[in-house]
Amino acid sequence: AKPEHTYLGITKEFGHMIGSSLQSNKWDRRCQALKSMLQVLKGLDLEGMAPPGSTGVLGSLRPRDPVKRWRLTCQLLHHVIRDKVMPVRLAALDLYQQAFSDLECFEKAEVVYASGVLVEHLIDRLGDSNVRLHEAARRCLIFTAEKPRLGPKSVLDRLREKLNACPKGGERAKVHFGVLDTVSALLEHFNQEVDVNESYSAEELAPFILVGLEDSAGSRVRTCAVQLAGRLYATHGPEVMEPILQKLRPAKQALLRSKFQEIDEDGAPDEDDAEEGEERPDLDGFLIGHAPVAAHELDHSPSSEESLMDGILEDVGLVFQGQGIIHEDLDKELDDSWLEEELLGFCVESPGVDEQQALMSLLEEVSPQSGAAEGRQSDLSVEVF
């Protein structure tokens, strides 16, 4: 349908405000109108409702035709997905996901036709220099492949057609990168969600790998092709990769085989972890650390935490006051006689040795000096000390 007819129908079904905003020259109004349509499709139709805080009754809400709304939305997306303004494109891609989220009440032939037209616009956005637009288009294609009425086969066929129809030139590397990156994302997604054997086969993915490993392909395209081959190898095994390897030159075969070897090494168990430790019967019963405590045995009540902190503070106070130092022999600590015994132990035991002689002999042994100094030291009296 022509844009004028589409805008007229949107004005009747979605409201005058949305219809007029979509035709505005200001991109922010067009973007806001697309977001409002998304909310309407979700069932949050606020037209005719009383403003917040009002106690008045709701305005007249006339019934809407969901099929007609969906058709008008698809017709609008056919135009706005190709808008020149980036925020409007991103809002249109969000509207696309909402429009195709619930398709039970629509005919399958009509859904397949509408999705086939819009998927072409999504594929054209792949590989865009704006990363957000490329990722948004890739997300919409994965969303389309998830739908039972569309399926991954149709999306993969469209991507293969885009890859084969791409002309040689400056845009070729960009298109190849966008397509291969999307195929790799599709393979990873369906490998996690469903059985990949029911989605993609090696024969269907082989053309993407071969095109990505061409000599004219850039480094980004070659990297995507190697990653795609690695995912296919990890999913289906080495047997399915042999026919693909036979179609490549020896240098490209060596590149893929090195990738496959890395995958095998990453999946193999570590030798250190696989080896069992040496048996040590002499260490039986030897425990390192503390015994495990179950979670229910721990007391996390506030009273227990307060008691713990009080005990810590009390111990710290005793240490600073000198009361918390524990000796091995308290009676020995209070008795000074042990010091005399230690001093007497440095000299020769004889019944006639007194404390002064023991101290002098101790000084002579500990601090030997020259002969002159020893003479002066002998003249010292004990009273000086």
Tell me the DSSP string of 122-190: HHHTTT-SSHHHHHHHHHHHHHHHHSTTTHHHHHHHHHHHHHHHPPSSHHHHHHHHHHHHHHHHHHHHH
Under DSSP, is residue 368 helix (H, G, I), strand (E, B) or coil?
Answer: coil
Q: Please give the structure tokens belonging to residue 128.
A: 């865009």
Tokens 């935490």 found at? 305
pLDDT digits (tens, 9 = 90+) for 282-327: 555 544 444 444 444 555 555 666 677 777 777 766 656 555 555 5
- The most distant pair of C-alpha atoms in the chain lies apart, rounded to whole Å, by 131
Of the candidates 252, 133, 123, the residue with the CA atom closest to the CA atom of residue 186:
123
Of the candidates 144, 71, 66, 147, the residue with the CA atom closest to the CA atom of residue 105:
66
Backbone angles phi, psi at 126, to 5 degrees: -70, 140
Under DSSP, is residue 381 helix (H, G, I), strand (E, B) or coil?
Answer: coil
Q: Is 127 left (phi over 0), alpha (psi -120 to 50) or beta?
A: left
pLDDT digits (tens, 9 = 90+) for 17-28: 999 999 999 999
What pLDDT is attached to residue 72? 92
Distances (CA, A) of 87 to 31, 107, 120, 176, 213: 7, 31, 20, 25, 35
What pLDDT is attached to residue 64? 65
Contact 180, 219 (CB under 8 A): no
Strands annotated E in 241-362: none
**In whole angstroms, what is the distance from residue 74 CA to residue 67 CA?**
11
What pLDDT is attached to residue 172? 83
Backbone angles phi, psi at 130, to 5 degrees: -85, 115
Under DSSP, is residue 115 helix (H, G, I), strand (E, B) or coil?
Answer: helix
Q: What is the DSSP letter of 382?
A: T
What pLDDT is attached to residue 260? 86
Low-confidence ranges of the chain (pLDDT < 70): 1, 44-64, 169-170, 192-200, 267-306, 316-385
pLDDT digits (tens, 9 = 90+) for 90-110: 999 999 999 998 877 788 888
Under DSSP, is residue 247 helix (H, G, I), strand (E, B) or coil?
Answer: coil
What pLDDT is attached to residue 335? 55
Please give the single-letter amino acid code of residue 380. L
What pLDDT is attached to residue 263? 84
Please give the single-letter amino acid code of residue 359. L
Under DSSP, is residue 95 helix (H, G, I), strand (E, B) or coil?
Answer: helix
